[in-house]
Structure formats: C-alpha cells, structure tokens
Structure 1
Amino acid sequence: METRELRYFVAVAEELHFGRAAQRLGIAQPPLSRAIQQLERRLGVKLLERTNRTVTLTEAGSVLLREGRAALDAVDAAERRTRRAALAATGQPGLVLVTKAGASSELLSKLLDAYAAEPGAVTVDVHLCGIGEQERLLRDGRADVALLHRPFDSTVGFDTEDLRTEGQVAVLPAGHPLARRAGLRMDDVTALPDLPLPRWPGPDGTYPDGPGPQVRDHTQLLQLVGLGRAAAVLPDSCRAHLNADLAAVPVLDAPTVTTVIAWPPHSRSRALAGLVRAATLL
C-alpha cells in the first residue's frame, strides 16, 4: 500500500462521507472513489459499505483504519525526526522535552540544572502540555524525550528509566471537614457529593461522562478545588504548589505514581543519552 492510499482511506473512514473526505484532502471526489476501489481490489476485501445515503466501515475497514492511523503516525514521526537529525548535523542539536504542566516541577528543575552542568550539554526546549499530550508528542516525533507518569501515561514502545515513586494525596479546600483527617481512602474521596472528581481528556481528546468538571491541566484543577467545585487525587509532590486555601491529605489505598523519563528506543542522540544519564543520577 502507498501512504497516499492510506491517507485517502483514513479520511473517508473518519468522515464516512466521500464528499467531505475529498474536500478535506483537497481533491475531487471521483479520483478519491477510484483510489478506494483500487485499494479494495488490491487487498481483496471490502472496506466500506456504501449506499446512496450512507458510508459505513466493514470489520476489515475498522482494522485498516486503526492500523492505517498508526502507520501514518509512524511515517509523520519519521519525517519529523529526520528533519531534527538534519538540524542537529548543522549545529542546532537542541532537545525538546515535554511534560505535564504543573507536574514534576521540582524534579524537572533539578534535572535541567544537573544536565546543564554536564560537558557538552545542549539547549533543552521545555514544552508544558495538557493531560496526555506529552505521550502523543513523543510518539509523533515532535519531542525527543518526555517525563511520563505511570499508571496514567502509557510507556509502551518507549525506553524508560524510573526516576521517582510516590504516594497520592487528596487535594481539598482547606476548610473542608475531611481536610483535618490524618488519612483518607479512595471511597472517602469519591463519595463526596459536593466535590466531584475531575474529568480528564482521553487519548482522543474527548471527555468521559460524569458529574465532575472538565479539566485540561493541574493549574486549572487546583483553581477549581480552591473554589470548592472539585476535589482531586494527585501525586504527593503536588504539595509544593498548593496555596493556603488548599489542603492535602494522604490517600492510603491510592496507587503509587512513578515518574519516568521516556524516549524513542531507536534514538542515537548523544545529547539525549547525556540527559537521561543526568536524570538517573538525581
């Protein structure tokens, strides 16, 4: 299969409408229809069910949509990494590090200071992301390295080194009755009718159903907690960023959170190797 055919098919499969897919691709509809038909003939399977009014995916089409997206993402990532390697070869070897906004700030500061003291250290461009974005940026080649947090972020397909493991705390308005407790359990936090837990976006950017507010990052979340609109369960290190109007109470049965440094397994960057080495020595 050609990447052009895959892009055509993914557009049709996502739009489920040949006219909209053609407009999205910037081509006429007849050649798009012919390309999909040719792809089906070559594969020997039916990818789409077509009527005068609807277009739906077959089981085979659903598989190709999933695999096609992954293949196109890999092609785009290869292109970006190739361009970044070319920049490095011309004397612009900076690294791009991504992490969640408001998370691991103290650890990140120590890492950047430690790496800057290393011989041959290069510029590290830090991008602070919304929830879940850093993993996607690392996978698609827009970042060289990321700080991820298990079990919330997937590290499948990356090389990683564990940096820190910590418990979690319930973040509550300072005046809330539970804020005076020495410890809580997850059931105590999830049962609060006046302080629902937040809803974070999934990998596709959509929010799950539920009563809690939709949040994009920790800064927004902490403001909502301070306003008495939500509660949160966060890694213990968040205490360093809490104002006087917030309280943190250990959640005794919450899963531990491990901060890891992650990078693509095929990387041969000496600068990246130096950054990882500095991270593991913290």
Structure 2
Amino acid sequence: MNDLETRQLRYFVAVAEELHFGRAAERLGMAQPPLSRAIRELERQLAVGLLRRTTRQVSLTPAGEVLLRDARTALDAIGAAGRRAQHAGESTPRLRLALKPDIDGGLLPQILDAYAAEEAALPVSLVLGRVGEQAQTVRDGRADTALLLAPFDDRGLDSEPLAVEPFLVALAAADPLAARPSLSLADLAGRSLPDGSPADQGPALGPHGQQGDPADDETTLSDGSDGAAPIASDLPQIFRLVELGSIVCFFPTSLTRRYPRPEIAYRPVIDLSPATLAVAWPQDSHAPAVAAFVRVATKVAATAPPEAAADQRESAKRMVP
C-alpha cells in the first residue's frame, strides 16, 4: 500500500463528516466529480470500502469509521506540528489559552493573576471561540491549553476538572414558569432553545458530546410557529429573544451572575446535569509554561468554592421573587 497523502485524508474527512458529496465538495472548494473520483481511488488504494452509497444517503462502513477517527488525529497532528514550530520561533514566546468568553466559572481573572507570579509564566494570549471549539483548538496547535465545559472530545488531550456549577434556565420574567422557585425539564415542554431543539431535552449537544453554544453566530431559533425563524448572532440577541418569550436558554450559574436582567428570570432545573469546567492540554506537552498554568488553575479552583457558593446564594436571593 502506498503512503496516504494529506490531501486524501482531508477529502475523506470532509465526505465522512458531511455524509454528502455535494456539501463536502462545497466545503473543500472543489467540484463534486473529482472529489468522488478521489474517494474511489482511496478505496482502491486501501482495498477496502469506506462508504456505503445509495441514491438516498451516504454512510460509513466500519473501515470508514476507523479511518475517520485516525485521519482526524493525523490531520490535527500535522497542523499542530507546523503551528507549534511557528510559535516556538517567535521572538516573544506566549501561552495561548483557548476559551469561550464568559465560560470560565468566574475563575479566569484569579487564574491569570496567580499564573503571572509563576517562574515559568509566559505572556498569555486568549484564543476566543464558540463553545465546543476549544478542544480542537488545542489539538491542532492554535492554543496550548484551554478552559472548556465537559464533556468534550478528549482525543489526544489530558484534562483536570476545575469547578462544577448548576445550569440555570433563562426565561422571560413574565413567563408563568418564572413564578416557581425551581423547574424540571418536563416543565419546559413546548419551549425551544437557541438552536431550535426542544428545551425539555436539555442543552443541545454537538457532534462530540459538547454542548452547543447558546450564542453561536447565525444560530437559527425556532419560535414554534410556521413563519420564518428568527436569527441570533450574539449573546445580547439571545437575551432579547428570551425577554420576548421566543426561546429559553441554559446558562452556567456564573454567567447568570454577570448578566442580571430584570426582564429575565433564572431558575434551577432539578433534573439537569451540572456544568463542569475543566482545563485541558495536549497529552504530549512537556512545556513548563503549560504545566504551570494547569497547576495554578487547579489551585485557584480548589480555593474558590466558598466565595463562589456565597455569590450563588446572594444571586439566588436576587432571582427569586
């Protein structure tokens, strides 16, 4: 068997993730016929079928599932090798920290202050992204470590949990459910989340078990009507749609403390799993700066719960009428 090329792996991953040759070709910026020929050539080269093709759908064979997993890992490693080499050659080394704004359990300022005092500390650059992107950002070398919500795709990563806090549901203050001190998921039947999924199923999950971002760019929102669905592109729009009663949304408690709004009620959901904040880093990392950041993050998190608990009690007093 000849060695596989990066181009072949990229083509196959696109088709395997989209399960549609047309969408995969569009994603790759190429025409569909040469993409189809490339996948057939890859199957011939490996002497194994990777895809099941019918007139209605494309699906992965067991061999295709294995290649998808390993191809993703290989492509991540290739991209990471180049980026980390570039980072190592910079005149001023930096620690790149991936996170979603406001998803830090309220710990980020303390972590950065404590890290700056470490002997191995480097200047920190924040790599901001949507929820669910942080693990991939570390895997492909764009970041050295990450603060992120679990569960997440942990291929090639080590991680340490930092904090566990409840999810609260945000709903319009005028909603009849806001009169209750707490809710269950069943109480939210008939209401929609920002991605259009039913609220009574809990936070929507991404392709690797990670929660979908409540403020993803151009998120399609379902209001339960037959008309055009509204579009939200940032957190203020999400809040506005919640205030109007168009949707509800789940947020970690620490985020709700930052955004108290009189038109929104935040209520605990008794049968909803809590949010777990973790720090993650590459399994093969031996960088002293990364080790120092992980050590500091776990230490700060270990000393934070009493203060956080007090904040949560005070927040609860404000939220319950």
TM-score for both structures, normalised by structure 1: 0.76
User: Which residue of 255, 259, 272 maps to 2:277?
Assistant: 259
Question: In 2 relative to 1, CA 170–122 (structure 1 residues): closer, same or farther, beyond 3 Å?
Answer: same
Tell me the residue number matched to 1:277.
295
In the aligned structure 1, how far is the partner of 2:101 from the partner of 2:232?
12
Tell me the residue number matched to 1:94.
94
Tell me the residue number matched to 1:71.
74
Tell me the residue number matched to 1:150.
150
CA-based RMSD: 3.9
Tell me the residue number matched to 1:108.
108
User: Which residue of 196, 221, 225 maps to 2:238?
Assistant: 221
1:58 Cα deviation after fit: 7.6
**Mean Cα displacement is larger for which, 205-214 or 262-271?**
205-214
Tell me the residue number matched to 1:82.
85
In the aligned structure 1, how far is the partner of 2:135 from the partner of 2:233?
15
SS at match of 2:89: helix
Q: Which runs of 5+ in 1 are unaligned?
A: none
Percent of aligned pairs with the same amino acid: 36
Deviations 1:80-123, CA, capped at 9 Å, x for gaps = 22322333xxx422011111223226211221122123334211
1:33 Cα deviation after fit: 5.3
The alignment status of 1:138 with 2:138, answered yes or no, reads yes
Question: In 2 relative to 1, CA 12–221 (structure 1 residues): closer, same or farther, beyond 3 Å?
Answer: closer
1:217 Cα deviation after fit: 5.9
In the aligned structure 2, how far is the partner of 1:105 from the partner of 1:57?
39
In the aligned structure 1, how far is the partner of 2:247 from the partner of 2:62?
43
Letter in 2 for 1:80: R
Q: Which runs of 5+ in 2 are unaligned?
A: 196-203, 225-229, 301-321
1:231 Cα deviation after fit: 0.9
Question: In 2 relative to 1, CA 209–247 (structure 1 residues): closer, same or farther, beyond 3 Å?
Answer: closer
Question: In 2 relative to 1, CA 281–58 (structure 1 residues): closer, same or farther, beyond 3 Å?
Answer: closer
Q: Is the 8 A contact 1:3 1:72 kept in 2?
A: no
Tell me the residue number matched to 1:45.
48
The alignment status of 1:250 with 2:253, answered yes or no, reads no
The alignment status of 1:180 with 2:176, answered yes or no, reads no
1:139 Cα deviation after fit: 1.8
TM-score for both structures, normalised by structure 2: 0.68
Q: Following superposition, which runs of at least 4 residues in structure 1 exceed 4 angstroms of deviation?
A: 11-15, 23-26, 32-36, 39-42, 46-50, 204-220
Tell me the residue number matched to 1:166.
165
SS at match of 1:101: coil
Deviations 1:161-189, CA, capped at 9 Å, x for gaps = 2111112211112222222322111111x
1:8 Cα deviation after fit: 7.0
Question: In 2 relative to 1, CA 275–11 (structure 1 residues): closer, same or farther, beyond 3 Å?
Answer: closer
1:208 Cα deviation after fit: 9.8
Question: In 2 relative to 1, CA 223–70 (structure 1 residues): closer, same or farther, beyond 3 Å?
Answer: farther
Q: Is the 8 A contact 2:49 2:64 kept in 1?
A: no
Tell me the residue number matched to 2:311.
none
In the aligned structure 1, how far is the partner of 2:136 from the partner of 2:10?
23
How many pairs align?
A: 268
